[in-house]
Amino acid sequence: MRWQAFATARLRSRDAAGFTLLELTLVLLILAVVLGIVVPRLRDTDRARLESEVRKLAVTLRYLRQAAILNGRTYRLNYGIDDGRYWVTSADGDDSLGSFQPDSEIMRPVVLSSPVGFSDLVLPDTIGMVQEGSGFTDFYPDGWVDLTLLHLDNGQESYTLFVDSLTGHVSIAAGYHELPSL
């Protein structure tokens, strides 16, 4: 009697131990879908870097406007077009014509990660288009911001950041866009 119970239990465990062809096919299908989504994103690190740098710069632009209002100071975000970096300087009060001093308390200088760089900077109210050298955006204590259009690229793709002078709103758009007609 014991022998029969042991043999029956062994047969049942042998039947339950394997996977059906349907189960194996379903697991392979799920793995293929997941890999199909993840692998292309892993290969496109240049695009991810570009998007990350654009988002960081947009946050910096928003932050500086708020800091200027809260601190009652004029801040200037300086752009090194050639070397792909940006940094903050400040002037006391709302003296935008005074001397600007580096302000590492607000933000340390940032170098864009390679291969991301500035294509150009458009400041229609002050100096126009800057394609080399440096330029800047001023943030005033009353909430006003220099009208600014920034283009960043990675050699293959580009993004445009637009800073509205009245509201300080920062818009991000994929691709290279001209200044909207106002």
> Quick one: pLDDT at residue 43?
64
Q: Give the span between the Cα atoms of 67 and 139, in whole angstroms.
A: 9
Mean pLDDT in residue range 91-110:
76
For position 150, what pLDDT does the model report?
Answer: 95
* pLDDT value of residue 89: 94
pLDDT at 42: 64
- CATH-assigned architecture of domain 45-174: 3-Layer(bab) Sandwich (3.55)
**Which strands, in side-by-side order, build the sheet including 158-163?**
128-130, 117-123, 148-153, 158-163, 170-174
Beta bridge partners of residue 111, listed in sequence order: 85
Cis peptide before 109 (omega within 30 of 0): no
Write down the mean pLDDT value for the chain.
86
pLDDT at 127: 84
For 13, 48, 93, 113, 120, the CA distances from 150, given in Å and listed in that order, are 67, 18, 27, 17, 6
Tokens for 27, please give them.
């697991």
Listed in sequence order, the residues at least 6 apart from 81 whose beta carbon sits closer than 8 Å to its beta carbon are 118, 120, 121, 130, 131, 132, 133, 134, 135
Work out the angle between the directed axes of helices 45-71 and 21-43 (0-180°, nearest 10). 60
pLDDT at residue 37, rounded to an integer: 83
Q: According to the model, what pLDDT value does residue 14 have?
A: 54
Beta-bridge partner residues of 149: 122, 162
Q: Which of 166, 138, 147 is nearest to 64 (CA)?
A: 138
User: Can you read off the two tokens belonging to residue 156?
Assistant: 């293959």
- Taking residues 138-156, what's their average pLDDT? 94
Which has more pLDDT, 2 or 179? 179
Percent of the chain with pLDDT over 90: 60
- Note the pLDDT of residue 38: 78
- What pLDDT is attached to residue 75? 94
Cβ contacts of residue 50 below 8 Å, gap of 6+?
Answer: 116, 152, 153, 154, 157, 158, 159
